[in-house]
Structure 1
Amino acid sequence: MSRPVFGAIADDFTGAVELAAMLASGGARAALLTDLSARPSDVDAVVIAVRSRVEPPEVALTQFTQALDALEAIGPRQLFFKYCATFDSTDQGNIGNCADLLAERAGAPSLLFCPAFPEVGVTVYTGHLFVRGTIVSDSPKRLDPLTPMTDPDLRRVLGRQTSRGVGLLPWTTIQSGADAVRSHVQARTARGAPYLIADTLTEADLETLAQATWDWPAMTGGSSVAACYPQIWRARGLTAAEPYAPTAGRSGAGAVLAGSVADQTLEQIAVFEQTRPVLRLDLLAEGDLAGQALAWADSRLPGGPICITTATPHARTQEIQDRLGVLGAARKAEAILAQVAVGLAARGVERLVVAGGETSGAVVQALGFPQLKVAPYQGPGMGLCSVEVPRPISLCLKSGKLGGPNAFHEALTQMEQPH
């Protein structure tokens, strides 16, 4: 097996799909693994999806360690830690603690943190995070039920998650080019700040950061900075330009499973319901909710796509979380929707849209897919992929916070065509 150039760990499944899709769009042969024992051959990049974002720190570190072990067995030249563009985390983790482990295992003297995603309006300036021009602590992200972002200064946010010094890579330095970035990082590391938050406002900034870090043992950030690497690899002869084999199109029965409680997902459910049936499951209800959902689906699937969701308006979500706990409510929703996904697949569903990163991870694991074939990038938060075994099915693993109002219909239609 040839040695991959790049090995990444993503802290949720939608992020992993997005990263693999962006690498594929750049011409890289990327494999997305969900089985850590898999050893893909003839690939340029390997992406491993874990579900560490909202786990307790000790659980997250266990998952991250297992993923690092798998990557070290595969042997990529560079290790990459992919997290959400909005730096979703808490004071306990799980970005700083996992970055510490990454740096130690990779022998990296310093790390850059580049979450920005200018394409969707997520930028960093003076170390502060902005979402569509609004500082993150004033945006809807402050109300996130699992990872509320109430502190806009990413230096402070990261500093609460690691004992290593955290500093800033200012925008003015990035404007001076890749060599200036490298020099600044070396100087700040020597002064006790090996972790630097990278100001990033434009796609050009991402390209400069990629030029400065492509040969580092380890790097961290969102998928947008990693998307700049494939052209560098080709230019330096590390990869070959080959046609990308498309994912298969499917025209069978379709369904949507929505576990995210993000405002965008609630709107997407409402738009879908204007033309298609939607079942809302109450997490506080008694009985076999997954079985009830599948019974409801049986008579409706022949008539076209359906949606089954555990998402509720914010007031009801708060009530459920008060009863079950924040993580308890999330895990119950994921478990129910994962059971529903298995039942839908057994009923012949070939097109499945899953809204929510944690929900996507639970569904993929329940379906038992060791490796996903990812289509080239379609747009922010909309990752298309397919598998043939143990059963043929196309998936859209969608970020709960992204996508337009008609995202569900659009994704189901896109899955009918090869990509």
Structure 2
Amino acid sequence: MSNYALGAVADDLSGACDLAAGLTEAGLATVVLLGLPDEAPRADAAVVAQKTRTAPVAVAVSDSADAVRWLLDAGSDWIYQKYCSTFDSTADGNIGRVADAMAAVIEEHSPSGCFLSSVGTPATPAVGRTQYQGYLFVGDRLLSESSMRDHPLTPMRDSDLVRVLGDQTDVPVGLVPWPSVRMGTEDLVTAIDVAAGHGARHVLVDAITDDDLDRIAAALVDGERRRTCLISGAAGLGTALGRLLAARLDERSAEPALPAVVGDRRLIVAGSASERTREQEAAFSGLVLRLDPRDLVAGGDAVGVLLGTLGEALEASADPVLVTATTDPADVRAAQTELGAERAAALLETALGTVAARAVDTLGVTRILVAGGETSGAVARALGLRSLHVASVVGPGLAWMVSDDTRHPIGVLFKPGNFGNADLYTRAWESEP
């Protein structure tokens, strides 16, 4: 088995790739795992990609605990819980309950136990996510005033993360405010210890800059005593942790030789309902083929018809084609009202996964850009992907990955819904593998 400086469990595939991109840039050779293999691949860090953000709580808890056990058996020095930088949660809320379960597994493996269950922050300044006085900001707006307020699966109506996380766990949640962070690592260590002394088991830490994240990472990793079982957060803190751990490695794993991706047929698959994904679609000048969940239950073969049109387009031109379920919020609500939110989402995930798999298997597509966390997982399952390696970083949280699990090697870019510039659908191909 291998030995990882960092083992992470991500709540969806696009988030796993987001973290892998940051860890790779930080200097850690990183593998993304879709499932738990018998043998641990050689790397400095491993990120297990799951589908737990919107899963039933019992499933999310069980799957996450299994992943932690596997990472510990593989020799992971530190365990990281990776969630979205907008703290995406369902009404039942999975972040807190998953953190409880992951910390419990780590504590079982720790001879001296843990001082705290988790410490972390969703702050990722590189993409405009900051936390101040426990409130999460998206750009210059509170989370509850951003487009996440009306997300169809995980609407975020409360910006107070101490309150949000507190509703998801039975143990106390504490806060380390920004003044303690900016004073330096020693003051931050003291503030974390004080929060624990007041009974907190999960501690959220304010962060506004990348320097803040580096201080948090140092406060948690430096010293003889481990202050927390679990470090938790978005890609920002995970990347800061990667920078610290990479600087301490005596010997780093060699980057794997990536298989060549041959061919010029490109596909974009979009299932995200985010505002940024809609902007990216509006800026795309190529062919757009649209799927509506109501068409998928109306009889006929909507997917087959779309694939016929897609095949003709790919034969005629090397330009990328966009297959999308993205639409305006009013139309999303209308489909959810008619079909039910869960059924509408499941229909689209299955259809988009089928389109991607058929495009690779029979239409010669070798590079796919996928928008949306749930859609990314559906596409990966349909393609049968098991592991991914970073080929090139496109931008904050975005990386082309390569897999040879399919009939021929393919390049994939799994994009969190709100990530990327408006022209991503056009510019991403400039750094394709």
Same fold (TM over 0.5): yes
- 1:185 maps to what in 2? 192
Q: Secondary structure at the match of 1:394?
A: strand
CA 1:149/1:140 → structure 2, altered by over 3 Å: closer, same or farther?
Answer: same
The one of 308, 327, 330 equivalent to 1:315 is 330
Contact 2:35–2:49 (8 Å) recurs in 1: no
Tell whether the 8 Å contact from 1:247 to 1:374 is kept in structure 2 after alignment.
Answer: no
- Which residue pairs with 1:10 in the alignment? 10
Letter in 2 for 1:201: I
* Match runs of 1:10-29 below 5 Å: 10-29=10-29
Q: Equivalent residue for 1:171?
A: 178
Query: What CA distance in whole angstroms lies between the structure 1 residues aligned with 2:191 and 2:394?
Result: 35
How much identity, in percent, do the aligned residues show?
36
Give the Cα–Cα distance (whole angstroms) in 2 for the partners of residues 38 and 263 of structure 1.
Answer: 40
| Partner amino acid, structure 1, of 2:240 | C
Taking structure 2 as the reference length, what is the TM-score of the superposition?
Answer: 0.91
Q: Residue 306 of structure 2 is aligned with which of 293, 297, 311?
A: 293
Q: How does 1:184-333 map to 2 (within 5 A)?
A: 184-214=191-221, 216=226, 217-240=229-252, 248=260, 250-272=262-284, 274=285, 276-285=286-295, 286=298, 287-302=300-315, 303-304=317-318, 305-333=320-348
**Partner of 1:396 in structure 2?**
413
State whether residues 69 and 105 of structure 2, in contact with CA within 8 Å, keep that contact through their aligned partners in structure 1: no
> Match of 1:414, as an amino acid?
S
Q: What letter matches 1:61 in structure 2?
A: V
Name the aligned partner's letter for residue 306 of structure 1. Answer: V
State how far apart, in whole Å, the 1-side matches of 2:144 and 2:242 are: 34
Q: CA deviation at 1:246?
A: 6.3
Report the equivalent of 1:94: 94
Report if aligned partners of 2:42, 2:253 keep a CA contact under 8 Å in 1. Answer: no
Q: Does structure 2 retain, via aligned residues, the 8 Å contact 1:52–1:59?
A: yes
Shift of 1:151: 0.7
Equivalent residue pairs, number: 414
Higher mean C-alpha displacement, 253-262 vs 61-70: 61-70
Note if 1:414 corresponds to 2:427.
no
The structural deviation recorded for 1:140 is: 1.3
1:402, CA displacement in angstroms? 1.5
How far has the Cα of 1:144 moved from its partner? 1.0
RMSD: 1.9
TM-score of the pair, normalised by structure 1: 0.94
Aligned-partner Cα distance in 1 for 2:374–2:251:
32
| CA distance, structure 1, for counterparts of residue 221 and residue 86 of structure 2 | 23
Decide which moves more: 172-181 or 398-407: 172-181
Residue 79 of structure 2 is matched in structure 1 by 79
Q: Say if 1:200 and 1:245 are closer, same or farther in 2 by CA, change over 3 A.
A: farther
Is the 1:25–1:376 Cα contact (8 Å) retained in structure 2? no
For 1:177 and 1:377, how far apart are their aligned partners in 2? 31
Deviations 1:318-367 (A, max 9, x none): 01111222222212111110011110001210111111011001111111
Q: Structure 1's 241 and 3: CA in aligned 2 closer, same or farther, altered over 3 A?
A: closer
Q: Which stretch of structure 1 is more off in the superposition, 174-183 or 330-339?
A: 174-183
Summarize the alignment of residues 92-131 of structure 1 with structure 2, pairs less than 5 Å apart: 92-107=92-107, 108-110=114-116, 111-131=118-138
Compared CA separation, residues 242 and 177, structure 1 to 2 (3 A): farther
Question: Cα offset for 1:186?
Answer: 2.1
SS in 2 for 1:227: helix
Question: How far 1:214 sits from its partner (Å)?
Answer: 2.7
Q: Does the Cα contact within 8 Å between 1:114 and 1:197 map onto a contact in 2? A: yes
SS class of match (1:375): strand
TM alignment of 1:369-408, pairs within 5 A: 369-390=385-406, 391-408=408-425
How far 1:138 sits from its partner (Å)? 1.3
Gaps of 5+ in 2: 108-113
How many angstroms apart in 1 are the aligned matches of 2:411 and 2:254?
24
Q: Amino acid of the residue matched to residue 102 of structure 1?
A: M
Gaps of 5+ in 1: none
The separation in 2 between residues aligned to 1:398 and 1:58, in whole angstroms, is: 27
Distance 2:309 2:195 in 1: 59
Q: Structure 2: how far apart are the matches of 1:376 and 1:9?
A: 22
CA offset at residue 248 of structure 1? 4.6
Residues 237 and 381 of structure 1: CA distance in aligned 2, closer, same or farther (over 3 Å):
closer
State the alpha-carbon separation in 1 of the partners of residues 330 and 77 from structure 2: 48
Kept in 1, the 8 Å contact 2:54–2:153? The answer is yes
Could you tell me how far apart the structure 2 residues matched to 1:118 and 1:345 are? 36
1:337 aligned to 2:343? no
| Paired residue type of 2:375 | T
After TM superposition, give the deviation of residue 269 of structure 1 in Å: 1.5
